[in-house]
Chains A and B, each alone.
Chain A
Amino acid sequence: MSGSEQASGNDLGRRLRERDLTVAPAVLNLLESTTQADREQALALLSEVSPARLGHEPRGRVVGVTGPPGAGKSTLLSALLRTWRDADRSVAMLAVDPSSRASGGSLLGDRARIEFDPSDRRVFIRSTAAGERLGGLAFGTRAAGQALAAAFDVVVIETVGVGQAETEIADAADVVVVVVQPGSGDVLQFLKSGIMEIPDVLVVTKADLGQVAVSARRDLNAALRSLGRRDTPVLSVSSVPPPSGIEQLAQAIDERLAAIDLPARRTAARRSAALSDFVGEYGMRALRGLGGRRTAERLLAEQDPALGEAELEQALLSAAGDPGRGVRGA
């Protein structure tokens, strides 16, 4: 389990390309690791599954799911998991939990209690702590999402929060689903005030509660109309028996995925991620050395759209000369 015991990045990447789902835990162990040796293996892994290497975008779809605490995300995901498995799609779930400020430690798996069948080998569920990173995602989660998309049909990234979380998740996922429960006004306020970006799909949980759920859905629809986004679907679901709306949600997610220009979205996301990783690793000084954010963005835009994040970061790095390592924002 130490750096030296890890399988090689190339090997793991190759097996992902062959859609060997059993390597998922080892892939995550490697991508989460911060030792220098493991970082190099991780880069090797990622380039094995980059669009340039694959010849196309990874086939799996990455679904981001976020929303306020207790909104019903995990319960809903348990139900969605069953629906996807019934359709024989393999599923990887990456649940990101907050870490304790004081100790850096975390309690995982408590929030993200997703019901699963332990004998099902086509399901992978991993919880990771967000660590010191603000904004929802854990170190390595975005990379993991991309890597696993080479092997799994569906990759879910679940984060908690509202307001900021869905901004970062938008860089990691092909489609962002924001989950709210009836009677919680936050999301509505954030939407109206523009603090929150408009998600691809909105879900109101706990439809079984009746009228409150109906009003919540109506209010969200009204807000979206006033923002000129009436095409954003708002769905109502109940995850307790008898469940309702789950199939429709799975379908709405698929429709949304079919509607977007996936390669363009992923390319944009990779570029934005490479830039923020570059800044995280080498600091604002290095960015200024490149001639500022605008210049960096232009430089990225000139690269091959199939380049993976690692290669893009490398491109920035060579343009900047060697800026010297800052503190990695892990």
Chain B
Amino acid sequence: MMRTYAGHSTAKASNELYRRNLEKGQTGLSVAFDLPTQTGYDPDDELSRGEVGKVGVPIAHRGDMEALLEGIPLGEMNTSMTINATAAWLLALYIVAAESQSPPASQDQLQGTTQNDIIKEFLARGTYAFPPGPSMRLIADMVAYTVLHIPKWNPINICSYHLQEAGATPAQEIAYSMSNAIAVLDAVKERLGESAEQDTMSKVFGRISFFVNAGVRFVEEHAKLRAMSIIWEEIGRQRYGVTDEKLLRFRYGVQVNSLGLTEAQPENNVQRIVLEALAVTLGRNARARAIQLPAWNEALGLPRPFDQQWSLRIQQVLAYETDILDYPDIFEGSKVMDGLVEDLLGKARAEMAVVAEHGGAVDAVPYMKGALVESHRERIRRIEAGEQIVVGQNRFTETESSPLTADAEGGILVVDPAVEAQQIEAVRQWRSSRDQAAVDAALGELARVAADESAERENLMVPTIAAARAGATTGEWSATLRKVFDSYRAPTGVGEAAAAVSGPELEELREQVASLQERLGRRPKILVGKPGLDGHSNGAEQIAVRARDIGMDVVYSGIRLTPSQIAKSAVDEGVHVIGLSILSGSHRELIPAVIQALRQAGVDAPVVVGGIIPDQDVPALKQAGVAAVYTPKDFDISKIMREIVELVGERAGVPA
């Protein structure tokens, strides 16, 4: 199956894009939602600022979902939705949209996938809404519901993709995703209760599919997939008593690695993507069911339709021009491949045992998060030291000027900022034009079911579908559950990251910090802040850990803070510099908002910014008061640190 991951600005605009892609030969839908929808906020919420329609489509109620899918026959479509914390809600909206189509599609006809993997949200992706316990309950309810009523739906897609994007090694990617699957299956087993027949549990097992990653070291990556299928089968047989070979098969879709795609010489990313695609197609015994490829300009910003078409064509060339699909498994009997697989199996099993010792994947979230930050620290160290070569970034960096990025917007899609205002207006209108009493009653019922913790509690899907039908909004559904379940902040993992091994460069920086400390009277203190709903934490984490390693005091409290929260911390904490990290594209709105909040609070410390910041946006940020801007091409974090230390000294009037 071939599809590209898409959705942006409004339901109507996304609908047109889907229809165009379907005409071009795409065979399924893959829906990207914006961050407010993914985290359960309406467009007019304070936290949604700058994010509405940015990285996906905003869906605030059934009306939006109906517009998104207009003219696409849902009875026949296979739809994959990248949705997790609010998956139950979006599935409910999808069911309601399907039944209101003409001809209507009933829920038992629906086919598709909801990502619905919450543990990796805590570990890597950041769009969680509720604490781990209640989140697992929502998932278990959804799985139990779909197995009975929407039999062709894949209710959950266990993701190892995001773990690699957060720095996981191949062994960690296997171990954490498998442990995660075990946690989900155990929860469903408990949900179904003692009475559940082996047959039902086997079916549940068979419905679980995976969403994996494949990096550019494609031989090892292929071995990883073979290892995953072996462990998966083992878990099925030994832990859940599954015997049917078909249900034991490791089914997976892929999005290939994007973390390694560079801003420098972005054309090289095309080669990387092709090679990564080989990892998941070469050997038939571990071949992907569905592939999504990122675009060549991944590290620059959102892809335009042309960029997405290019990625689709890569898949088509592989499938229709090469002979990849002509042979049985080409690695069968290969000693090298078998050796690689054995090695990975050993490491992964050992790491799974550690997770089990922590009490399973839910309780091991802080441990796993710390381990990922640590692995990523090592990856970056190797690139900085030149031990890991990245062509065009730390080797072969001389380049001709590129015709690809020459157009005015630097080769990316820019979302019209007017969308946010329109959506705010639209959701307010929606609220005022519906039957409020019906909505209140539906949400009341949802709260009642959620608060019931007894073993006989009802399935949360039922009041969720009723609320969708009544016209409740995404923000209302989530707020109702947050009230009962509480909100949550995930561990950041930075405290657990081991201190860097010292080397001459680190020592030199530590001396600079010590000297600055003398001059300031206090240890230099930095606040690393992530404003808004952006969940990309890698950069902020690595900056925070490195700042500690060179001897600074670092205030970092994780993702999803409002500008006023950041300003309040900056004042109270008495920091010497504020570092903001934004990758989701909301920097134009949020950075000036944070600076304004800081200045209002009387903080005059310098502000530096990092993340996906297109060149053309830099002047406006500087105008707003930003002292320096860093992007992925600034991969040398030591250099960034040196500049920050100098900046603090100068601004505080105590230069070196």
Contacts and interface: CB of A to CB of B under 8 A. Distances in A.
Interface residues of B, number: 49
Interface stretch (A57-65, A120-128, A167-175, A255-263): A120-128
Interface stretch (B157-165, B236-244, B384-392, B547-555): B547-555
B569 A241 contact: no
Contacts of A105: 513, 523, 547-554
Interface in A100-125: 100-111, 113, 116, 118-119, 124-125
Interface string B483-506: 011100101101100011010000
B652 A1 contact: yes
B654 interface: yes
B523 A103 contact: no
A227 B558 CA distance: 43
Contact of B495 (A102, A110, A131, A241): A110
B653 A29 contact: no
A248 B333 CA distance: 69
B553 A129 contact: yes
Contacts of B131: 240
A119 B651 CA distance: 28
A127 B605 contact: no
B551 A240 contact: no
A109 B569 contact: yes
B486 A34 contact: no
Contacts of B544: 107
A48 interface: no
B653 A2 contact: yes
Nearest to A6: B521
B573 A126 contact: yes
Given A2-B519, A110-B492, A126 B572 contact: yes
Contact of A108 (B485, B550, B554, B605): B554
A1 B521 CA distance: 9
A119 B565 CA distance: 8
A2 B652 contact: yes
B493 to A, nearest CB: 9
A118 B554 contact: no
A159 to B, nearest CB: 15
A157 B574 CA distance: 17
A128 B547 CA distance: 15
A258 to B, nearest CB: 30
B484, B550, B568, B654: most-surrounded residue (chain A CB, <10 A): B568
A118 B494 contact: no
A35 interface: yes
Interface string B535-579: 000000000110111111111111000101101110111101000
A2 B651 CA distance: 10
Given A107-B544, A127-B555, A241-B484, A24 B572 contact: yes
Interface in A221-277: 240-241
B522 interface: yes
Contacts of A102: 499-500, 502, 549
B520 interface: yes
Contacts of B569: 109, 125
A71 to B, nearest CB: 14
A3 B574 contact: no
A316 B564 CA distance: 46
B545 A107 contact: yes
Interface string B47-67: 000000000000000000000
B298 to A, nearest CB: 30
B486 A240 contact: yes
Given A107-B556, A119-B564, A1 B576 contact: yes
Contacts of B576: 1
Contacts of A240: 131, 486
Interface in A124-150: 124-129, 131
A241 B487 CA distance: 10
B381 to A, nearest CB: 15
A25 interface: yes
A200 interface: no
A112 to B, nearest CB: 9
B327 to A, nearest CB: 51
Contacts of A25: 571-574
A279 to B, nearest CB: 23
Interface in A20-39: 24-26, 28-29, 32-35, 38
Interface in B506-535: 510, 513-514, 519-523
Given A5-B653, A35-B521, A102-B502, A111 B572 contact: no
Given A32-B522, A34-B521, A110 B557 contact: yes
Given A104-B523, A106-B548, A241 B486 contact: yes
B594 to A, nearest CB: 12
Contact of B522 (A34, A108, A109): A34
Residue among B544, B548, B576 with the most chain A CB within 10 A?
A: B548
Contacts of A35: 521
Contacts of A125: 569, 572
Interface in B361-388: none
Contacts of B568: 116, 118
Given A110-B494, A113-B489, A240-B131, A104 B522 contact: no
A211 interface: no
Nearest to A70: B366
Chain A CB within 10 Å, residue with most, of B486, B513, B549, B555: B555
A4 interface: yes
Interface of A: 1-5, 24-26, 28-29, 32-35, 38, 100-111, 113, 116, 118-119, 124-129, 131, 240-241
Interface of B: 131, 484-486, 489, 491-492, 494-495, 499-500, 502, 510, 513-514, 519-523, 544-545, 547-558, 562, 564-565, 567-569, 571-574, 576, 605, 652-654
29 contacts: A1-B574, A2-B652, A2-B653, A25-B571, A26-B574, A32-B521, A33-B520, A34-B522, A101-B499, A102-B499, A103-B500, A103-B510, A103-B549, A103-B550, A104-B551, A105-B513, A107-B548, A108-B555, A109-B556, A113-B558, A116-B568, A118-B564, A125-B569, A126-B573, A126-B574, A127-B555, A128-B553, A129-B523, A240-B131
Given A25-B572, A109-B554, 18 more contacts: A1-B605, A2-B521, A5-B653, A32-B522, A32-B574, A38-B521, A102-B549, A104-B523, A104-B551, A105-B548, A105-B550, A106-B554, A109-B555, A109-B573, A113-B557, A119-B564, A126-B574, A241-B484
The 4 closest A-B pairs by CB, nearest first: A33-B521, A35-B521, A105-B548, A118-B568
